[in-house]
């Protein structure tokens, strides 16, 4: 394996009602690297990502078995408060969902709900995270404008800043660039490469090129199963499974 595992997923099975969406998923996600989950659409990538911070709790008729260990906790069975666990993970979704408030408050939100409310503390923090997300220069004069007045690319970077503000050690991202223009996509990609020295990043994508560019570790899924996983170099240069070979050659979608 490559590097110390940060998230250990074991025998994970998930059903949406009668539909078996994740089948015996077992994977070790390495710490401080970029893990890319690849696969054709509908194969369960988003669902797998959402199990990692238990957003699957929000769906009715979900049945989950198996375990996901992060640190010492099995987050699927822990007695710890799930909100506490989620605070250690940032999430970027397919399209950005800023909160219905101004730019400053979007970044300050996570800090405020964890009890850090003084303006004096918040101001430099907000600036810091906006800088980390390469957004500060563009918004420093309009921090009190509504977040929805930003472009989609800027909104996604705002969501990154917001996610970083709670000081997570894991960043989960579900096709974070699929709704963005090439330039904003590049900013996000570069940012991820920069951030991986401090964070464990798990990113879903269906773009092979993107995976080739930034992945350290690849998990390839098909119809709810992991077909193959391994360090990116091995995965792309010497794939073992026929399905993987076909997928890498671009033979299906």
Partner 1 sequence: MKKSKLRNAEELFFRGVMIISSSVIGLALFLILWSIIKRGLPALSWDMLTQTPKGGFYFGKEGGIANAIVGSLYLASGATLLAMILGIPVSLYMNVNLHKRKKLVNSIRFLLDVMWGIPSIVYGAFGFTFMIYFGMHSSLLAGILTVTLFIIPIMIRSIDEVLMSVPKGLMEASYSLGSTQSETSYKVFLRQCISGVTTAVLLSFGRAIGDAASVLFTTGYTDHMPTSLTQPTATLPLAIFFQMSSPIAEVKERAYASALILTVLILFISIIARIISTRYQKHKIKI
Helix 152-165 and helix 182-195: axis angle, to 10°? 20
Is the backbone of residue 77 left (phi > 0), alpha (psi -120 to 50) or beta? Answer: alpha
Is the backbone of residue 87 left (phi > 0), alpha (psi -120 to 50) or beta? Answer: alpha
Q: 3-state DSSP call for residue 46?
A: helix
Which span (14-22, 109-117, 124-132, 151-159) binds ligand ADP, by CB under 6 A? 14-22
Q: What minimum distance in Å lies between the beta carbon of 171 and partner 1? A: 11
Placement of tokens 């397919």 in the chain: 94
Show the site string, 55-94: x = touches partner 1 by CB under 8 A, - = not.
Answer: x--xxx----------------------xx-xx-xxx-xx
Which span (40-48, 54-62, 101-109, 186-194) binds Mg ion, by CB under 5 A? 40-48
Q: Interface with Mg ion includes 93 (CB under 5 A)?
A: no
Phi then psi dihedrals of residue 245, to 5 deg: -60, -45
Q: CB-wise, 61 or 197, nearer to ligand ADP?
A: 61
Residues 6+ apart with CB under 8 A from 53: 75, 85, 86, 89, 91, 172
Q: Which residues bind ligand ADP (CB under 6 A)?
A: 16, 19, 21, 39, 41-47, 59
Q: Which residues bind partner 1 (CB under 8 A)?
A: 50, 53, 55, 58-60, 83-84, 86-87, 89-91, 93-95, 97-102, 109-110, 113-114, 146-148, 159, 162-163, 166, 172
């Amino acid at each position: 394996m490559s590097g110390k595992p940060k998230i250990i997923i074991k025998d994970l099975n998930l059903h949406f009602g009668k539909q078996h969406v994740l089948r015996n998923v077992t994977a070790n996600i390495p710490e401080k690297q970029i893990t890319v989950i690849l696969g054709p659409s509908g194969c369960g990538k988003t669902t797998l990502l959402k199990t990692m911070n238990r957003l699957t709790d929000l769906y009715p008729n979900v049945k989950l078995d198996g375990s996901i260990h992060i640190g010492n906790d099995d987050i699927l069975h822990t007695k710890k408060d799930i909100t506490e666990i989620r605070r250690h993970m940032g999430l970027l979704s397919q399209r950005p969902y800023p909160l219905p408030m101004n730019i400053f408050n979007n970044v300050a939100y996570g800090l405020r709900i964890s009890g850090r409310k003084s303006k004096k503390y918040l101001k430099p923090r907000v600036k810091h995270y906006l800088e980390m997300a390469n957004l500060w220069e563009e918004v420093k004069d309009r921090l009190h404008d509504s977040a929805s007045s930003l472009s989609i690319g800027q909104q996604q970077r705002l969501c990154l800043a917001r996610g970083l503000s709670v000081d997570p050690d894991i960043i989960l991202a579900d096709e974070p660039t699929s709704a963005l223009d090439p330039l904003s996509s590049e900013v996000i990609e570069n940012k991820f490469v920069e951030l991986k020295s401090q964070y464990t990043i798990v990113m879903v994508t269906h773009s092979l090129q993107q995976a080739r560019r930034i992945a350290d570790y690849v998990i390839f899924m098909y119809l709810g199963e992991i077909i193959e996983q391994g360090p990116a170099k091995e995965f792309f240069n010497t794939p073992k499974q026929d399905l993987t070979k076909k997928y890498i050659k671009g033979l299906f979608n």
